[in-house]
Amino acid sequence: MADIREMRYFLLGDGGRNPFPEIKGWSEVLDVRKINRKEYQELPSSFQLKMHTRIDHILPDILLSPFLLLSERAMDVVSFYDPEIPWCFVVLFDDSGKECASYFCPILEEEDCVVVESNQEGETVRLDRRRMKGLPLFQIQVKDRKKTVIRMDLAESLLMRHAIGLELKVTV
């Protein structure tokens, strides 16, 4: 494996105004605080969620809100890079009941490698490479929000397979 300090990492983004489905009522079905490596076994191995779709919606390979969901195609790629990731199976149903989609929720490790630096332009979030484990996909805590970080080789593999919904934001 290459030296962690030499690897490139990106924050996953959702592209903003894409016509992705909006997941509704998830807080009644799932305690998202348990989507972590310590408590995930308390979650059901599969669950159903409602989604609101618009007329021009897209079912992407990667959904970030309200938590990370991957299509089967994206899950297969991620599993190749990290076969140890546990998964929950999720079925999304639209409001009308006419459309459904299968997704997988990865139970990612959270790495404590965030350094927030203040400067004249505000705050910059930086990854401390010395505290990183070299995982291809993991979460970080930035203030009160969790963000997903992806290693460049995994991101490239998803892009080569034309993954929909993959937006990469440069990290420092």
pLDDT band for 139, please (50, 70, 90 cuts).
very high
Nearest-CA neighbor of 65 among 92, 99, 100? 92
pLDDT at 158 over 90: yes
In which residue are the tokens 């490790």 written? 109
Cα–Cα distance measured from residue 23 to residue 93, given in angstroms and rounded to the nearest whole number:
9
pLDDT, the chain, mean: 87
Query: Does the N-terminal peptide bond of residue 83 adopt cis geometry, omega within 30 degrees of 0?
Result: no
Nearest C-alpha neighbor of 6 from the set 153, 142, 113, 157: 153
Higher pLDDT, 54 or 110: 110
Alpha helices in 60-100 (DSSP H): 72-81
**Residue 58 to residue 80: CA distance in whole angstroms:** 25
Residue 5 has pLDDT above 80, yes or no: no
At 72-108, the pLDDT tens digits run: 999 999 999 999 999 999 999 987 777 899 999 999 9
How many residues in the chain?
172
Give the model confidence (pLDDT) of 34-82 as tens digits.
999 999 999 888 989 999 887 878 889 999 988 999 999 999 999 999 9
| Residue 15 confidence (pLDDT) | 66
Q: Find out whether 114 and 132 touch, Cβ atoms under 8 Å.
A: no
Identify which has the larger pLDDT, 127 or 96: 127
Structure tokens at 153: 């080789």
Is the torsion defined by CA of 155, 70, 97, 94 positive or negative?
A: negative
Q: How confident is the model at residue 2 (pLDDT cuts 50, 70, 90)?
A: low
**Token code pair at residue 14:** 């959702």
List CB contacts of 115: < 8 A, sequence separation 6 or more: 125, 126, 127, 128
pLDDT at 20 over 90: no
Q: What is the model's pTM? A: 0.88
pLDDT at 71: 95
For residues 73 and 144, which has the higher predicted lDDT (pLDDT)? 73
Q: How far is 7 from 1, CA to CA, in rounded Å?
A: 10
